[in-house]
Chain A
């Protein structure tokens, strides 16, 4: 079974500052990793995903994440945030094992609050 832990429930940051949202996962098999963003009363939008290959993944809106297998982490980063980045961010994992259904397991979410 897989699990995902987002270490920070809320991250306040000033506009134009860098930010890192932390995500650790647990799995006995190889996984795919994802970061999603959710704006109030909306569904989820995919920011980026790691499937294989380069461990540094670039996504939309200037976000990037690095897959670290030894530390079982997939932290999300942005060098300079905007007010419009204020939202809820979810890390998720999906297993690649036999019988893979593509089921996503989500972390608890991190609220990014960008202050002017």
Chain B
């Protein structure tokens, strides 16, 4: 149990286009999901907290108009990178927080490799 999927696993796009990445909790409900960005050989940086049915909470320095987050159901959050540029190329990882027990563990997706040409 507690599986999180991401789609696509890899995407290559042209500069100026938009890319949507999906994060799904396959066997549990998650009112909260998180989006992280990871540059090569670096740690995960939290971009935003996605809350089902409400607006996402963005970390300082993350442009909310560029990284659009939608959490329309208890099992799906999407991250759309708008007007992508080469500097947006990165590994994007989502996690879903399981709504159970006194501690709500996060489960991570396998990541999406975005390359912007």
Chain A residues with a Cβ under 8 A of chain B:
32, 36, 41-46, 49, 51, 90, 101-109
**Chain B nearest Cβ from A74, distance in angstroms:** 16
Q: Classify the interface of chain A: helix, strand, loop or mixed.
A: loop
**Chain B nearest Cβ from A101, distance in angstroms:** 6
18 contacts between A and B (CB under 8 A): A41-B91, A43-B108, A43-B109, A43-B110, A43-B111, A44-B93, A44-B108, A45-B108, A49-B105, A51-B103, A101-B32, A101-B49, A102-B106, A103-B34, A106-B45, A108-B42, A108-B43, A109-B42
CA A5 – CA B7 in complex, angstroms?
A: 32
CA A23 – CA B106 in complex, angstroms?
A: 20
B1-50 residues with Cβ-Cβ distance < 8 A to A are: 4, 6, 32, 34, 42-46, 49
Q: Which chain A residues border B6 with CB–CB below 8 Å?
A: 43
Task: Check B43 against A106 for contact (C-beta < 8 Å).
Answer: yes
Instruction: Check: B97 CB closer than 8 A to any chain A CB.
Output: yes
Instruction: Check: B113 CB closer than 8 A to any chain A CB.
Output: yes
Instruction: Check: B83 CB closer than 8 A to any chain A CB.
Output: no
Instruction: Check: B104 CB closer than 8 A to any chain A CB.
Output: yes
Chain B residue with minimal CB distance to A46? Answer: B105
Task: Check A102 against B113 for contact (C-beta < 8 Å).
Answer: no
Q: Which chain B residues border A51 with CB–CB below 8 Å?
A: 103
Q: Which chain B residues border A44 with CB–CB below 8 Å?
A: 44, 93, 95, 108
Chain B residue with minimal CB distance to A101? Answer: B49
CA A107 – CA B111 in complex, angstroms?
A: 18
Chain A residue with minimal CB distance to B4? Answer: A43
Task: Check A42 against B110 for contact (C-beta < 8 Å).
Answer: yes
Chain A residue with minimal CB distance to B46? Answer: A103
Task: Check B44 against A102 for contact (C-beta < 8 Å).
Answer: no
Apart from the given pairs A43-B111, A103-B34, A103-B49, 8 other A-B contacts in the complex at a CB distance below 8 Å: A43-B108, A44-B93, A51-B103, A101-B57, A102-B106, A104-B95, A105-B46, A106-B45
Task: Check A109 against B43 for contact (C-beta < 8 Å).
Answer: yes
